[in-house]
Each structure stands twice: as structure tokens, then as C-alpha cells.
Amino acid sequence: MAISKTLSDELEKRRKIALDGGGAKKAEDRHAKGRMTARERLGSLFSKGTFQEFGLHAQHNTRYFGMADKSIPTDGVICGTGFVDGRPVAAFSQDFGVVGGSLGEIHAKKICAALDHAVKAGVPVVGFNDSGGARIQEGVGALSGYGQVFYRNVQLSGVVPQISVIAGPCAGGAAYSPALTDFIIMTRKNAQMFICGPEVIRSVTGQVTTMDEIGSAQAHASVSGNIHFIAEDDAHAVQIVHKLLSFLPSNNMMDPPHHIEPDLKIVDDPALDELVPADSKTPFDCRKVIKSLADGGDFLEVMEHFAANIVIGFGRIGGVVVGFVSNQPTVKAGTLDIDASDKAARFVRFCNVYNIPIVTLVDVPGFLPGVNEERRGIIRHGAKMLFAYASATVPKITVIMRKAYGGAYLAMCSEDMGADRVIAWPTAEIAVMGAEGAVSILYRKELAEAEDKVAKAKELADEYRTEFATPYLSAGRLAIHDIIQPRETKSSIALTLRGLMSKRETRPPKKHGNIPL
Ligand code: HXC
């Protein structure tokens, strides 16, 4: 018996209403502003023909204030699964064209269903946030919905990768859902994220500010450190999601997508021999080293504009996906400060939880000296790096390019902090503290009596470097495993990584450690 025309027509009619969302006019308005609709965002995320929606026929709860006659197609959020590069991914996309993408009870239930599916199927989840926040008519029903989403974000953390795209407003408490995820990508124009907007700040504190200053992509990428990538527009945001996913496993039980060829053929890069300047105070760009090590120079930098004194990101070495962490000598001389410590520690923990080996490149003169740093808690923040590295059980390889001084060296994953292999270049300087500081303490009397104090200090510092900071001293004490020519770095790391692919390290059972936060 064939389906009756009435039933078939009814389905098509309902489908059309739901698929139209806010209607053609609202879609046109979006396009005029160079933006995609919620459905178009999912269309560009997933490979053609792979999207399976759930909740297309969702209806808002009509018992709420002023809602009885309202039509809210999909309840303002489109949810489902699809494939990216042949791998399944779950997603939701808030539809600003439908009551401002505001979050009501059913809207929240749909997002929760996407998150529940992600954890059940062991697949990453991508969320497009574009919403006026809690649906005011639904009051505490909406508030409760946010609570249910946050709760799931936390349950998913460390189980499946969670990626947020901020593609419109994301205001008030709503910003905490993206904040609980692993990566946030924000579009340069049309997106705002804040807890209290300029108007609230002015009325409560009298401070005058602008949305650009507190809630723009630029502010979050470079000042607050709340986001990881700036996208030029929606299409670029999706490109970044694709690139990010290409380095990540689907869940914490899987390996990341390595591209391992059976034969390891790596040629030396003589340019690396020339990179480090003769004068140890002259900076060099660590990105050049990273790009030389990453297969095809393909390096996805994370948080490029925040705490630029440390560089983090993903690449492959000899086909193996790795997370790079490197001091950046061109910014604040590569010192570790509060922001750099927070940035690197969280990245190390992400890599560890998703089985991504960590390659650490060291040129660190120490922690950044300063009253502000001490008063704002560099001890607590720097401790995060020690904690993150020492708790990480993934393969850890450390390359000492130049300075490796004091506690900051330990914070960059020395052998004592659990590195599986530490290699140094002949330019390495490894010591308990920097030469100038050590000399000023050890030779106070000699310096006071010297006629030319500057020349004497330099002479003693040079002597200290060659006598006490040479990598051969550390190699002699087995604190580093080898000293290599810079040009040999890639082949050395690639070989070590292959040898560590089946690394296993167990720790005493515990609920979780107590990382200094
Ligand atoms: C219900 C909402 C809404 C909301 C927008 N709309 N936000 N409806 N609840 N929160 C509706 C509008 O009424 C309008 O409906 C449509 O969405 C488009 O909104 P516009 O204002 O026309 O758009 P625009 O000019 O682009 O302004 C966007 C906006 C503004 C800046 C986001 O809409 C706004 O300020 N909204 C309210 C933001 C807010 O205060 N949210 C509640 C925060 S409390 P029509 O029918 O006219 O098209 C909160 C608590 C969360 O979120 C706690 C979590 C822990």
C-alpha cells in the first residue's frame, strides 16, 4: 500500500517550513553582510550528502510566556552528524534567523542530543554559536538548558574533541559553553563574545569601553586569550575547523591521524645550522625551526596572537602528528610569563589527552622578572607547565636549541620532568641560572674591585658559559641524551617518535591531580 498523498504532502509541507528557518528575507540579509546561514555553515562543514539531521521537526514549548502562537522552526538550532574527510563528526548550528538563535528548553535539548551522540559514538563535535542568549520568554527553562549544555561540555572534555565557532553574538553566561570546549574560532567581523557588555560595564562601574575593546575577535585573540583562531569569515572558520580536525583523533581512545610511510626518508636541513646567531643574545624566529621540522612546512599555529613569547601548534614529523611547544626568542627574549605558561600548559594537556606526542623546543633565559608577574602569581601559573609536562604520558621529546636556564628549563620539559629523549645543539647553554645573574652573585667582590666593571662582567659571563653552561657537562651527567648538529634534528626526532609509538606509562590510580589553577 503506497503512502497516501495527504500524508506525503503534510511531510513535505512541514519539511519546507523547517528547512526555510527564518525565511528567505533573513537569509538574504545575512548574505548581504557576507555571512552564511546556520544551515549553510553545516553544509560547508560536512562533505556533500553526508549530513543527517535530527530534530528538524522540533517545536518549542508553547506554555511559556507569549509563546502560544509563535512558530519557531527547528527551535532555532540545527543539529546532526555528517562526515569530514571521511570521518564522522557531530555538530550544531544556532540559527540567528529564528528568534535570534535564542536558547530555549527544546533548543538546549537538541544541543545536548548532539553532545550525547558525540560521546556515545566517540566523534568530535563542532558548534556554531550565533545567538541572542537565553530565550527571554522561557526564563528559567532557558537557564536550566544552559546548565545542561555546560554539564555535557565538561563530561565530554578529554573524551572527544570539542570545537566552537563564534559566528555571531555570544553574550553573558552563554559564553561559558565555548569556554569549556577545546578550541574556539571566532569570525573577525559580526561576532562578539562577552560576559558584561559595554553598557552594563558603564552603568555598574562607570568605565567607558567599546565592543571592539572587550568583545571582538581581535581582543580575544590577543588580549584575553579566550580564543584560539581568528577567521576572516564563516568560510574561513570552516577551513580552520577542517585543518584542526585533520590533526586530531576522533576520541581519546584513538591515535591521531598519523601518515606513516614504512620507509623513513628524511634529509638533513643545512639551513638550521645557520639559524642560531653567534651572539647568544641575538634572537631568531623559532617558527623557522618548527617549519623546517614539520612535514611539508605544514604547521597549524594555535593562539598565534596571544603570549607570542611561546609558540604552540600542530604538525607532523615523519608522518607522526605532534604538538609543538617552543620558546620564541624574538618576543620578550623567549622568557616564560603568566600568559605563556597558561597557554603552553593547556596545550600540553590537550595533546596528552588525545595521544599526541609533544616536541618541545627550548631557548629560555628564565621566567620573566617583574613586580606584576610576581604579584599576579607567576609561581602558580608557571607551576601549571611543570604539572602539565610531568603528568603527560605521551611521547615527549625536548630539543635544547640555546638557553635552558633554571626552573624555566624544567618547565620546558627537561629529562628530570619526564622527557623521553632530550637532544641539544652545540649552541645549547644549560645551567642553573643565566650567566650574568650567576656572575653577579658568585663574583660580587671581583666585580666591585674591577676598574672596568662592564668588561669584567662580560669576561666572567663568557667564562661561565663555556665552563658551566656547555651541553657537554649535561651530557656527561646523562641529563641530555645526545648532542647533534641542528641539521640532523628532524631525522633524530622522527626516529625517536617511531620508537615511541607504543609507549606505555602507567601512574598510580587517582581521581585527578590537583593542578594549580
Ligand atoms: C528572545 C530574542 C533574544 C532573546 C534576540 N531575540 N535575542 N528573543 N530572547 N534572548 C529576537 C529579537 O527579539 C528579534 O526578534 C530577533 O531575535 C533578532 O534580534 P534583533 O535584536 O532584531 O537583532 P540584532 O539587532 O542583530 O541584535 C542582536 C542582539 C539583540 C544584540 C543579540 O537581539 C539582543 O541584545 N538580544 C538580547 C540579548 C540578551 O540580553 N539576551 C539574554 C541574556 S541573559 P524579531 O521577532 O523582532 O525578529 C542570558 C543568560 C544566560 O543569556 C545564562 C547562561 C548561564
Report pLDDT digits (tens) over 351-402: 999 999 999 999 999 999 999 999 999 999 999 999 999 999 999 999 999 9
CB 139 near ligand 1, within 6 Å: no
pTM of the complete model beyond 0.75: yes
The three cell numbers locating residue 350: 590537550
Looking at residue 151, which CATH number applies to its domain?
Answer: 3.90.226.10
- For residue 208, which amino acid is it? V
Last residue of a domain, one of 245, 279, 302: 245
- The position carrying cell 583562531 is 229
Domain contains 517: no
Please tell me whether residues 414 and 455 are part of one structural domain.
Answer: no
110 Cα–ligand 1 center, Å: 19
| Angle (nearest 5°) at CA 501 between 495 and 502 | 135
- The position carrying cell 594555535 is 302
The three cell numbers locating residue 153: 561540555
Mean pLDDT for 293-300 is: 97
Please tell me whether residues 317 and 193 are part of one structural domain.
Answer: no
| Digit-coded pLDDT (tens) for 117-146 | 999 999 999 999 999 999 999 999 999 999
Q: Which of 23, 34, 147, 173 is catalytic?
A: 173
CB 100 near ligand 1, within 6 Å: yes
> What is the domain count for the chain?
3
So what's the pLDDT on residue 59?
85
| Digit-coded pLDDT (tens) for 236-286 | 999 999 999 999 999 999 999 999 988 888 889 999 999 989 788 899 999
Please tell me whether residues 189 and 276 are part of one structural domain.
Answer: no
Please tell me whether residues 222 and 276 are part of one structural domain.
Answer: no
Please tell me whether residues 417 and 446 are part of one structural domain.
Answer: no
Q: Which has the closest alpha carbon to 39: 86, 97, 107? A: 97
Would residue 408 show up in a list of annotated catalytic residues for this protein?
Answer: yes
Domain contains 333: yes
Mean pLDDT for 482-505 is: 96
So what's the pLDDT on residue 31?
95
Among protein residues, the one with the nearest Cα to ligand 1's atom 34 is: 132
Domain contains 117: yes
The domain in which residue 458 lies consists of 434-469
So what's the pLDDT on residue 265?
86
Q: Which residues of 339-363 are buried (b: 16+ CB within 10 A; e: fewer)?
A: bbbbbbbbbbbbbbbbbbbbbbbbb
What are the phi and psi torsion angles at 218 (to 5°)?
Answer: -60, -45
So what's the pLDDT on residue 139?
92
Q: Which residues of 136-165 are buried (b: 16+ CB within 10 A; e: fewer)?
A: ebbeebbeebbeebbebbeebbbebbbbbb
Measured CA to CA in angstroms, residue 340 lies from 201, 222, 311 at distances of 28, 12, 9
Q: Could you give the CA distance from residue 402 to residue 289 in angstroms, rounded to a whole number?
A: 12
Q: Which of 21-25, 310-314, 505-509 has the highest mean pLDDT?
A: 310-314
Those residues whose C-beta lies under 8 Å from the C-beta of residue 147, and which sit 6 or more positions away, are none
Q: Which residues pair with 171 in a beta bridge?
A: 194
